[in-house]
Structure 1
Amino acid sequence: MPTLPFPLPEPPTLYAPLPELAEVQRDSAVSLVSTADGGVAYLVTRYQDVRTVLVDPRFSRAAAARSQDAAADFGLGALATESMAGMDPPEHTRLRKLVVRAFTARRVEELRPRAAQIVGELIDGLLALPQPADLVENFSLALPVQVICELLGVPADDRHRFHAWSDTLMGGPGSDPAVMGAALQAMGEYFGGLIYAKRAAPGDDLMSALIAARDEQDKLSEEELVRMCVGILIGGHETTANQINMILLTLRRYPEERDRLLKDPSLIAGAVEELMRFVQLGAGATSLPRVTTEEVVLGGVTIPAGSVVLPAVAIANRDPQLYGDRHDDLDVARPDVSHLSFGAGVHHCLGAQLARMELQEALRGLLTRLPGLQVAVPDEELRFKQGMIVRSVEALPVTW
């Protein structure tokens, strides 16, 4: 069984996974990774096997949250260990039921006109700026922040405060647990103040509904209430903002696919799925670790109980067994796209429908109103925030 070092090295390009991952995917259903201090985990790279890790309850998030090795060596940070991301059913199910109605496909479609309006307003603001202008500050971060803040009931004017904490909590392997813990505490105190104000003057928002579930129905504790608000706010803007940036960089890399979308905007909904499959959003190669609760045979490999298992979603999304010779091609008109970028099973991303809608509206707005939009700096001059689990560009200068 092949063994790779962890953390895995940065790939030579932003637009494809590490070549060694394609090699181990071809040669073995499961491989090993090892850290400098002796930590060992099982790396899973093939689509169907990764999906099994995500949906099979024998691969436990809660056990990973309790494992010091999984947390310290393989990147299960403070947010994951202290939120629904670090829970298994039935605790996970109990909390998810409280919020899932806010993120159904029907509810998200009701939000689409407002999201489109925000996109239009942000583009108006962008057009009033001198060129080049920073797309991160003026569009890609502002859009999901405003949408999730309105949904949750958080003042969007506080964006600069909570985004700094969010960056810290999205830290990857090697992040200082004390720093992450301090950020979680600061954000918890921030939400404690908002919850206090909402109790006095509830609104028509998700936070007020959660407070009612806490105070009137006793369905969650005060600590769970705070942590749930923290998780929803971070999950509702951080990845979507960075996905917008990476989509634009990817379309610059593949101008013929961008031209197809410019000529036929009806392709946008399907293109978002293909871009979710193709874009290398994660700064690392794997998603959150699991720990086996019993011995499991996966792809013919026996994984002992208590083992850390790393699902490599980015390379699984390009599995030749699923896509044949075109697994590394970007095709915005590809039919029946399958990907695991939102996870699967009980931990399938709560806000997947919301993220899809925002990405569709963002791409539609930028392509139709700014057809000449161009990133104004080459890849080598882009500056990415260090130590985060997603590729987060500090600024994205654009012209139009």
Structure 2
Amino acid sequence: MIKKADVVVIGGGIAGVSVAYYLAEKSSGKFTVVLLEKREIAEGTTAKSIGAVYYQHRTEVELCLTKKSIDLMRKLDEDPDNGINLKKIGLIYTAFTEEEVNNLKRDVEFQHSMGVKTRFLKPEEVKELMPDVGLEELTAATYNPEDAYVDQYMLTSTLAKMAREKGVKIFTGTEAYDIILFNDSVEAVRTDKGDIEAPFVVNAGGPWADRIFEMVNLIYPVQRVPGQIYAVKPEKKINYTVPLTIDTHSKFYFREETGNIILLGQIDTLYRSDRKDVNPDDYYGFKKMPDSEFQEFIYKSLEKRFPMLIEAELIRGWVGLRTVTPDNLPIIGETEVSGFLCSVGYSGQGIQLAPTAGELIADFILNNNEQKELIALSINRFV
């Protein structure tokens, strides 16, 4: 085990790997960067994401981060050695009430101001795109054909491979269980294989982030929220693209996957004081199955929105964890402890926001350059 490093990154999901990659890229390999992952790369919550990457955002900071992340993904996907299965399928938000329509109008106006060409659809235009969907009570929808999904495992593994090639030391099967401080500054990380001295440590622990904060006596507003997903295969082949489609009222969503498979789920990113906590160690792998309440929700949603899928074959189901914050935006950058930074709380958007966040953190560590997005997403917004 290495004894000294310039930076230790804790967490081998998309957030941690992105920080490590950009530190190596921007330092031309002159910085000693260590990444610690107690299991395997992308084995935690990253692997259970649906990989959505889209331009239909409501805030400038989300859109700016996503644009740069998609630029990176396109570059990787065009490289024959680093394909990540980036696929444009579009995203549709559906609205059923006047309030929901007004919210979408506001979002589209903002996106147009940022150069994003999202457009409104009438119910009959949605039907043209997806002939088998139910349109009961649908008033309007928004659509951007540039929105996409990516293979989240391939993306994270590719960045990890490139980070290694640039000199990053990645230790899997290695748990960080304490952080040693001296005069309120980071001094070392204690692992189950020995201590690593380092002036900088980055918490990229995903659902384990709160445990890493506790190592430096910090409590940050992050909650674990289970995200349940079914993958089904209809008997009849669907001969059109099924965009990621999100019901703004019920938060039911579906999208196509390779092999005539459709993913089904519900977006739940609500930060609640009464939410029951769960143990993130119980969510490794794909052993956790969706519960009966979720099953009933999906069945009722399909009855109204995609009835041809009611009799579809269930391929598998799984449960991941979203780490959410009160405003559903990540917390990135400096903390009150000198040398201790974080890249956490992506609220279900880690795949599209974390790559650029990793670049921002790397730029700050290497050049003390705190860009406006880093300021906007700092912990200070909750103070």
TM-score under structure 1 normalisation? 0.28
> Counting strand residues as a fraction of each chain, which structure ranks higher?
2
After TM superposition, the score normalised by the length of structure 2 is 0.29
